[in-house]
Structure 1
Amino acid sequence: MIELPLTELRAGLMASLAVPRWVDDVVRVAPFESVSQLLDVASAAATPLSASEIDEAIAHHPRIGEKPVGDGAAQAFSRNEQAGLGSDEEDLAAEIAAGNVAYEQRFGRVFIIRAAGRSRAEILTELERRLELPNSSELEIVGEQLRDIALLRIERLWATPAEDDLS
């Protein structure tokens, strides 16, 4: 059984996905029997996210390849998620930066991708692919990426290496 104070649960969820409706929907189900149940509820509540919720969530994400500003939990997550991108691929970093500009001009929002576990080359390839999509398809992908990022963050917050629950 995961028994967290609601303030701690809310704060962790907001750092994972800054969408108040989603946080409320997930908290409403607490307490959770396991991290798996929490992840299932969180995933269902984030599927799909509305366009305005995507905008809310994106406001808390730095551009891919840029250092997050601030010291909050969401910024710490972003630093950790982008840490694996390395700095030895400067040409790729410049191409991603240029891609970010093109993406923002095309879609009017920051490019969002689950960076954890991906190389700069993989991110650049996906950025270039997604630049060619219609806005409606891209918006759906952004929502999926935000959900995936949130689920990874929830796991980092509350899963233990040896077990699936916090009892």
Structure 2
Amino acid sequence: MNLTTFNQLDADAAQAAIAHCVAISNWQQALVAQRPFASLTALMQCAEQLALSWQQPELNQALAAHPRIGERAAGADKEAALSRREQGAMQQADSDVQQAMRAGNQAYEARFGRVFLIRAKGRSGEQMLAELQRRLENSPEQEVQEALGQLREITLLRLQESLQ
């Protein structure tokens, strides 16, 4: 879909068109309400500004739709397909990296009470594992901020790819 089409959709259709970017309905609604956008740059700036207000409740809401790194997302919806594609490097990593990621995911969930979130696109399995291991040393407050930063990156990448 291009920006012109997005600008012209009714509100429900526009929200549905960006729902795969992040499972935070308030963000989707707020972005749709700001239309029309004069350029993709203006849309992305607005999307980023809106995402900067996210806190732990929004993180928890979004994580409900995210599979663990290294696990294949189930389903035929657009979000599951994107997740499978974004995490392709972990699926192709050697068995030692995959096993270490499974163990790291368990340690992360035990420590922070939620799934580990990272922008997988453009990262190798080894890089994702190294980031997980590094982030296990974060305080809970630091980790919320890192996870929110990763969520923003994922969201904005998905939005940009959807509207080009």
Moved more, 93-102 or 29-38: 29-38
Deviation digits for residues 80-119 of structure 1 (CA, Å, limit 9, x no counterpart): 1012334241100100110000000000000000000000
Going from structure 1 to structure 2, the CA distance change for 1:81 and 1:88 (only over 3 Å counts) comes to closer
- Equivalent residue number for residue 103 of structure 1: 108
Task: Report the TM-score, using the length of structure 1 for normalisation.
Answer: 0.90
Specify every segment of 5 or more residues in structure 2 that has no aligned partner in the other structure, as ranges: none
Which structure has more helix as a fraction of its residues?
A: 2
Percent identity for Structure 1 against Structure 2: 37
| Cα distance in 2 for residues equivalent to 1:84 and 1:136 | 29
Secondary structure, aligned partner of 2:96: helix
Q: Which of 47, 61, 67 pairs up with 1:62? A: 67
2:7 is the counterpart of 1:2 = no
Which residue is 1:40 aligned to? 45
Q: Distance in 2 between matches of 1:99 and 1:57?
A: 21
The two structures, once aligned, show a CA RMSD in angstroms of 1.3
Cα shift at 1:148: 0.5
How many residues align? The count is 159
1:79 equivalent to 2:84? Answer: yes
Runs of 4+ deviating beyond 4 Å: none
TM-score after normalising by structure 2: 0.92
Distance in 2 between the 1:90 and 1:101 partners? 17
CA distance in 1, matches of 2:74, 2:91: 18
1:11 maps to what in 2? Answer: 16
The CA distance in 2 between the partners of 1:55 and 1:88, in whole Å, is: 28
